[in-house]
Amino acid sequence: MNISIDVKEKDTAIELTVSGEIDAYTAPKLRETLFPLSEENGVNMVVDLSGVSYMDSTGLGVFVGVFKNVRANDGQFKIVGLSERLQRLFEITGLADIININSQIEGGV
């Protein structure tokens, strides 16, 4: 189980590109990377999951926590590049109604 996380920062804009699988083994690494960034005031965070082949509930938990942190610090949080399978996971859990998810990848940092 491998995960790769690429971080690009420019002012308050942070773009993260995640590749691999997000599960109980890799979620701690994802959390360690995202949480400190999510605590910055007024951050605009975009997470690209187009390279993620699998995600379980542990990964969803990481994104819920990061989303709450970003919002608590007056920031914006968005997930892009979801496969059909991941999009459905967010929809089934109701997170698609709370977290800004968009299958399209827009201009980067």
Mean pLDDT over 94-105 rounds to 83
Residues listed for the chain:
109
**pLDDT confidence tier of residue 109, bands split at 50, 70 and 90:** very low
Which of the pair, 34 or 105, is modelled with greater confidence? 34
All structural domains of the chain = 3-102 (3.30.750.24)
Q: Which of 71, 75, 3 has its CA nearest to residue 32?
A: 3
d(CA 14, CA 87): 22
Tens digits of per-residue pLDDT, 84-94? Answer: 999 999 999 99
Token pair 């701690």: residue: 28
Whether 7 contacts 40, CB under 8 Å: no
**pLDDT tens column, 2-46:** 999 999 999 889 999 999 999 999 999 999 999 999 999 999 999
